[in-house]
Structure 1
């Protein structure tokens, strides 16, 4: 009886610890704005922007900052360490240069640890764990906002050959720390959804497999438990918007090998969130998710999370469009057809890789009833027609600026001709397309790969204008677009 009573007390203590940890981590979301690093407010961040932030940390006695390697172009890779505990946690981000969301979140987390609030809780945590951050592993790729490094390889497929200095650095740091936990931080396509739902996979997790059989040993199981804990937290803020990344074994990948080498590897992929083009809400969810995991590891409360919590996370699927138009009447060669359109708004980087413009495309057509959209237009009773060309040829940009574009769209006008299109213009700054005086539009017909521009009519009344994949509700006046296209 005494042994049973002792076991009950231990169990209650563990459950109390878990509940206290979860209650504390719930504060992270509400207080986030106090710690958000305001200098990193856009996705296209550069290595030079991080260095003053890291220098400021290096000047603080509680931080240890070391240059642990250099990129192919010579940019320093700097490791930031904090804490004195026996459990090492290693976090690295942006091994793909165009995946910056978690890099931003890392500096939010560092701001949290540098702040005066929660001093006792943080001191207790940092006595149990030691944190190591390696932000922006691929700074050369980040400079031009591309996935691969200057050598042209995917660093995340270089774990075996180790041809890249960035991959060599990651391997060397992992081996020197022999960390118990590793966080591999990425961005994924915004077009992933949680399986069989219309909700985006805003955050996706994975405890990578370490062999083709996808066995689960203690190392991988611990990663699964931590993910189960993070999912429990995120469901409060993004319910149904968490997915599980495919766990097929990839023998060249760092996550899979780090799992094999004995570090519990946790992959976090930042996907899409409605009306969050710069992924700042997703950055916040990264902050909450990662901090929650750190606290769960420090307290040991992740041990009480059943593996079923991980296994029950829905798989990633890829069935999201930026805009889905359902059930419109599509005329072709004298016949009418029922048609769905799936549209992606594709980004094109501007020179300098600090901003972008859109060149949208029809990605799929036909029966798209098993697909979803961030925005969905019910096309019932609507039919599609080509947009019209404004009857007057404008002289230059100043003449275009004077137009009432809402009035043009309400007439079904989607194109404007201009004699003198500025040579520097890569896109139309207006919610219509600009044509040169001599450009001839092709006969109205739409195929996969075409730019989605047309008007949806109800009878004789135009109800929606679709310009470069962006919708304008001509009844309510709602709608906006970053840019139109130029056809010279």
Structure 2
């Protein structure tokens, strides 16, 4: 009799464990939500106050206070940052499946934060034909969102905390107050599922292609040998479900993040704390510098995953579907120029050039600095924009030192005409108004100093400012501050969003 009781006890424990992580396959009645429905939901509930990446903690605070007044989400301040900025948690649902989502532990990675506010708007909606989804989430899940974990970093738009520590390498030691807070909330909530929300750089590509990785996924390892236990396997299934819907939006633009075990990393530790955790990294997409399309993708895959967790329907996917997602490659640049002739007529050579644009934050805006990232055989490298310059050569740009009186005297059309005629930089004589308009979108450099340097060749690490033209000096393209600009009437430059500053 004792043996029977013990056996029943063991079986009951195993069943409880299975229930907590939904290893049962009860998804025959799973919701079937098509892309049209997701698109409709998103367009209706996108948060209009967040349109650009460099929003501030006070913007988040203000929005959360508005959500608090609606009393659908339970909004509480759970702590303060190193510099005393408020850190909030929003909770939803009274179900038994506990889920934690945290965003912007790196202050310059805000894409998912925007998506969470879109999701908050949706959860507060009603009588729009989607109450069935809300009822499911509310009854099955107990969701805890931390939308901005590193407000000090967000204020500066920098990766690290005010202490200069990478918070995602602080899960073990807890040297940051923000990291210690996340650990403390994990102990209190004891989640069964976790979503670790980040941005990765825009230069990852799908291996063997020039496709930027728009979304990267990872079911982090919980130990150095990267074993797969039921907790991690469920994370793999959830990630496979994300990839399944992403392929309908961005086929061949999804990859896996590096799964090397990081004992200091939060995703790895959440996985070891028995929370099936998925890392979502928002990458790049051509023509989407503010990541608004990638924000939409975050909203869709997070909402879809919450539905599948509530139903247990993520069990329809398997770990092999996750394993089949390729790992990130890192071969992408803003511009790749192939077979260009560089140097003088008596001392020239043919080569490839790769160019990247580094962002420099100014308040809520930014400008870029384009530089030559690599020179040489770049056959395996790709560019968001590419030019085969075979038969063409690098031509130095000219500087107009006589210039114009004021920045107000220049139009975009005039600047483009200057650029087409070989002038890349124009002096502005009046400095006063220029200070207020230090950031600009003109397709030429503007400067107020006595001289402006224009490179005569392509130097590794040097400024990316030159022309591509033929042997007769006819200009075909301009590389202005790392942007590729076509100079013929047939080339459409309307999609180029220049981000320059007055020098």
TM-score w.r.t. length of structure 1: 0.91
Pairwise CA distance, 1:240:
0.7
Q: Matched residue of 2:337: which SS?
A: strand
Structure 2 residue aligned with 1:251: 263
Per-residue deviation, residues 192-247 of structure 1 (Å, max 9, x unmatched) = 11222211110001111111100111111110100001000100001111110001
Contact 1:359/1:485 (<8 A) preserved: no
Instruction: Give distance in 2, aligned partners of 1:171 and 1:428.
Output: 43
Instruction: Give distance in 2, aligned partners of 1:322 and 1:440.
Output: 24
Residues 106 and 438 of structure 1, relative CA distance in 2, 3 Å threshold: closer
Structure 2 residue aligned with 1:312: 324
Structure 2 residue aligned with 1:124: 136
Residues 170 and 436 of structure 1, relative CA distance in 2, 3 Å threshold: closer
Q: Matched residue of 2:162: which SS?
A: coil
Residues 203 and 398 of structure 1, relative CA distance in 2, 3 Å threshold: closer
364, 380, 398: which one pairs with 1:354? 364
247, 250, 253: which one pairs with 1:238? 250
Instruction: Give distance in 2, aligned partners of 1:440 and 1:281.
Output: 37
Structure 2 residue aligned with 1:445: 457
Structure 1 residue aligned with 2:481: 468
Pairwise CA distance, 1:309:
0.6
Residues 435 and 35 of structure 1, relative CA distance in 2, 3 Å threshold: closer
Residues 380 and 31 of structure 1, relative CA distance in 2, 3 Å threshold: farther
Residues 24 and 478 of structure 1, relative CA distance in 2, 3 Å threshold: closer
Structure 2 residue aligned with 1:386: 396
Pairwise CA distance, 1:168:
1.3
Instruction: Give distance in 2, aligned partners of 1:463 and 1:106.
Output: 44
Pairwise CA distance, 1:334:
1.6
More moved, 357-366 vs 176-185: 357-366
Pairwise CA distance, 1:325:
1.4
Pairwise CA distance, 1:402:
9.4
Instruction: Give distance in 2, aligned partners of 1:401 and 1:222.
Output: 57
Q: Matched residue of 1:96: which SS?
A: coil
Pairwise CA distance, 1:441:
3.8
1:31 paired to 2:41: yes
- The runs of 5 or more residues in structure 2 that have no matched partner are 1-24
Instruction: Give distance in 2, aligned partners of 1:16 and 1:139.
Output: 43
Q: Matched residue of 1:252: which SS?
A: coil
Pairwise CA distance, 1:265:
1.2
Structure 1 residue aligned with 2:302: 290
446, 465, 484: which one pairs with 1:434? 446
Q: Matched residue of 2:248: which SS?
A: coil
Structure 1 residue aligned with 2:425: 415
Pairwise CA distance, 1:30:
3.8
Structure 2 residue aligned with 1:3: none
Instruction: Give distance in 1, aligned partners of 2:288 and 2:413.
Output: 30
Pairwise CA distance, 1:394:
3.7
Contact 2:454/2:465 (<8 A) preserved: no
Per-residue deviation, residues 86-105 of structure 1 (Å, max 9, x unmatched) = 00111010000110000100
Structure 1 residue aligned with 2:9: none
Structure 2 residue aligned with 1:10: none
Structure 2 residue aligned with 1:7: none
Structure 1 residue aligned with 2:162: 150
Structure 1 residue aligned with 2:13: none
Instruction: Give distance in 1, aligned partners of 2:455 and 2:442.
Output: 24
Pairwise CA distance, 1:395:
4.3
Contact 1:431/1:483 (<8 A) preserved: no
Structure 2 residue aligned with 1:79: 89
Q: Matched residue of 1:316: which SS?
A: coil
More moved, 92-101 vs 398-407: 398-407
Q: How many residues align?
A: 471
Contact 1:25/1:292 (<8 A) preserved: no
Instruction: Give distance in 1, aligned partners of 2:51 and 2:454.
Output: 41
Pairwise CA distance, 1:374:
1.1
Structure 2 residue aligned with 1:5: none
Q: Matched residue of 2:70: which SS?
A: coil
Contact 1:208/1:249 (<8 A) preserved: yes
Pairwise CA distance, 1:405:
2.0
Instruction: Give distance in 1, aligned partners of 2:186 and 2:418.
Output: 59
Structure 2 residue aligned with 1:166: 178
Per-residue deviation, residues 131-174 of structure 1 (Å, max 9, x unmatched) = 11111000111011011111111111111111211111101111
Per-residue deviation, residues 103-136 of structure 1 (Å, max 9, x unmatched) = 1000111111111121123212321111111110
Instruction: Give distance in 2, aligned partners of 1:83 and 1:457.
Output: 62
Structure 1 residue aligned with 2:10: none
69, 73, 76: which one pairs with 1:63? 73
Contact 1:88/1:181 (<8 A) preserved: yes
Instruction: Give distance in 2, aligned partners of 1:141 and 1:38.
Output: 23
Instruction: Give distance in 1, aligned partners of 2:95 and 2:35.
Output: 20
Instruction: Give distance in 1, aligned partners of 2:279 and 2:75.
Output: 24
More moved, 193-202 vs 474-483: 474-483
Contact 1:191/1:200 (<8 A) preserved: yes
Contact 1:429/1:484 (<8 A) preserved: yes
107, 118, 122: which one pairs with 1:112? 122
- The runs of 5 or more residues in structure 1 that have no matched partner are 1-12
The residue correspondences of 1:338-349 to structure 2 (distance < 5 A) are: 338-349=350-361
More moved, 328-337 vs 414-423: 414-423
Q: Matched residue of 1:346: which SS?
A: strand
Residues 484 and 38 of structure 1, relative CA distance in 2, 3 Å threshold: closer
1:137 paired to 2:149: yes
